Structure 1
Amino acid sequence: MKLKNSIISVVVISMFSCKTTNVTSNEVTSNKTPKNVILLISDGTGLSQISSAFYYKNSTPNYTRFKNVGLINTSSSRQDITDSAAGATAFAAGVKTYNGAVGVADDSTHVENIIELISSKNIKTGVIATLAITHATPASFYAHTLSRDSQEEIAVQLTQSKVDFFAGGGLKFFDNRKDGQDLLKTFKENQFDVNTSSLSDFATIKSSKKVGFLLSKEGMPTMEEGRGDFLSKATELGIEYLNKDNSGFFLMSEGSQIDWGGHANNASWLISELIDFDNVIGKVLDFAEKDGNTLVVVTSDHETGGFTLSAKRKKRENGREYNDYSEIDPTFSTGGHSATLIPVFAYGPGSEEFIGVYENNDIFHKILKVTNWEK
Structure 2
Amino acid sequence: MKNIFLSICLLALSCACTQVAPQKSKEKKPVNVIFMIGDGMGLAQVSSAFYFKDGSVNFKRFSEIGLINTSTAVEKITDSAAAGTAFSCGERTRKKMIGMSVDTISMPNITDTLTSLNYKTGIVVTSSVTDATPSAFYGHVPSRYQYEKLAEQLTNSNIDFIAGGGLNCFVNRNDGVNQLQKMEEAGFAVDTVSLESFDCNTDKKYAFILAEDNMPKMPEGRGDYLPTATQMSIEYLSKNKDGFFLMVEGSQIDWAGHRNNAEHLITEVIDFDDAVGKALDFAEKDGNTLVIVTADHETAGFALSGDKYEDISFALTNHTASMVPFFAYGPGAENFTGIFDNKDVYKKILKVIQ
**By the TM > 0.5 criterion, same fold?**
yes
Supply the distance in 2 between the matched residues of 1:118 and 1:239 (Cα, whole angstroms).
Answer: 16
Supply the distance in 2 between the matched residues of 1:149 and 1:179 (Cα, whole angstroms).
Answer: 16
Q: In the TM superposition, what is the alpha-carbon distance from 1:328 to its structure 2 partner?
A: 8.2
Supply the distance in 1 between the matched residues of 2:146 and 2:203 (Cα, whole angstroms).
Answer: 29
Residue 331 of structure 1 aligns to a residue whose secondary structure is coil
Match of 1:310 among 300, 305, 314: 305
Q: In the TM superposition, what is the alpha-carbon distance from 1:40 to its structure 2 partner?
A: 0.5
**Contact kept? 2:121, 2:161, Cα under 8 Å:** yes
Q: In the TM superposition, what is the alpha-carbon distance from 1:200 to its structure 2 partner?
A: 3.0
Alignment of 1:287-306 (within 5 A): 287-306=282-301
Aligned to 2:225: 230
Supply the distance in 1 between the matched residues of 2:306 and 2:209 (Cα, whole angstroms).
Answer: 41
Residue 218 of structure 2 aligns to a residue whose secondary structure is coil
Aligned to 2:51: 55
Supply the distance in 1 between the matched residues of 2:97 and 2:43 (Cα, whole angstroms).
Answer: 26
**Contact kept? 1:167, 1:234, Cα under 8 Å:** yes
Aligned to 1:329: 311
Supply the distance in 2 between the matched residues of 1:186 and 1:311 (Cα, whole angstroms).
Answer: 51
Percent sequence identity over aligned pairs: 52
Supply the distance in 2 between the matched residues of 1:35 and 1:192 (Cα, whole angstroms).
Answer: 25
Supply the distance in 2 between the matched residues of 1:311 and 1:162 (Cα, whole angstroms).
Answer: 46
Match of 1:366 among 327, 348, 351: 348
Q: In the TM superposition, what is the alpha-carbon distance from 1:201 to its structure 2 partner?
A: 5.6
**Contact kept? 2:200, 2:235, Cα under 8 Å:** no
Supply the distance in 2 between the matched residues of 1:64 and 1:186 (Cα, whole angstroms).
Answer: 43
**Contact kept? 2:42, 2:323, Cα under 8 Å:** yes
**Contact kept? 1:30, 1:350, Cα under 8 Å:** no
Match of 2:265 among 260, 265, 270: 270
**Contact kept? 2:263, 2:309, Cα under 8 Å:** no
Supply the distance in 2 between the matched residues of 1:225 and 1:311 (Cα, whole angstroms).
Answer: 24
5+ unaligned residues in a row in structure 1: which ranges? 1-28, 313-325
Q: What amino acid does structure 1 have at the position aligned with 2:229?
A: A
Q: In the TM superposition, what is the alpha-carbon distance from 1:236 to its structure 2 partner?
A: 0.6
Alignment of 1:140-179 (within 5 A): 140-179=136-175
**Contact kept? 1:353, 1:366, Cα under 8 Å:** yes
Q: In the TM superposition, what is the alpha-carbon distance from 1:205 to its structure 2 partner?
A: 3.9
Residue 276 of structure 1 aligns to a residue whose secondary structure is helix
Segments of 4+ moved more than 4 angstroms: none
Please report the RMSD computed on the Cα atoms of aligned residues, expressed in angstroms: 1.5
Match of 2:31 among 23, 35, 46: 35
Alignment of 1:327-366 (within 5 A): 329-366=311-348
Aligned to 1:18: none
Residue 272 of structure 2 aligns to a residue whose secondary structure is helix
Q: What amino acid does structure 2 have at the position aligned with 1:197?
A: V
Q: In the TM superposition, what is the alpha-carbon distance from 1:249 to its structure 2 partner?
A: 0.1
Aligned to 2:201: 206
Aligned to 1:321: none
**Contact kept? 2:119, 2:240, Cα under 8 Å:** no
**Contact kept? 2:291, 2:330, Cα under 8 Å:** yes
Q: What amino acid does structure 1 have at the position aligned with 2:305?
A: S
Q: In the TM superposition, what is the alpha-carbon distance from 1:283 to its structure 2 partner?
A: 1.0
- Report the TM-score when normalising by structure 2: 0.91
**Contact kept? 1:132, 1:220, Cα under 8 Å:** yes
Structure showing the higher helix proportion among its residues:
2
Q: In the TM superposition, what is the alpha-carbon distance from 1:330 to its structure 2 partner?
A: 1.0
Supply the distance in 1 between the matched residues of 2:334 and 2:197 (Cα, whole angstroms).
Answer: 35
1:95 is the counterpart of 2:77: no
Match of 1:195 among 191, 196, 200: 191
Q: In the TM superposition, what is the alpha-carbon distance from 1:327 to its structure 2 partner?
A: 9.9
Supply the distance in 2 between the matched residues of 1:205 and 1:196 (Cα, whole angstroms).
Answer: 17
Supply the distance in 2 between the matched residues of 1:36 and 1:329 (Cα, whole angstroms).
Answer: 41
1:241 is the counterpart of 2:236: yes
**Contact kept? 2:87, 2:343, Cα under 8 Å:** yes
Structure showing the higher strand proportion among its residues:
1
Aligned to 2:252: 257
**Contact kept? 2:262, 2:309, Cα under 8 Å:** no
Q: Deviations over 1:259-315 (max 9, x none)?
A: 000000000000000000011111110000000000000000000111011147xxx
Supply the distance in 2 between the matched residues of 1:294 and 1:30 (Cα, whole angstroms).
Answer: 17
- Report the TM-score when normalising by structure 1: 0.86
Supply the distance in 1 between the matched residues of 2:257 and 2:266 (Cα, whole angstroms).
Answer: 9
Aligned to 2:41: 45
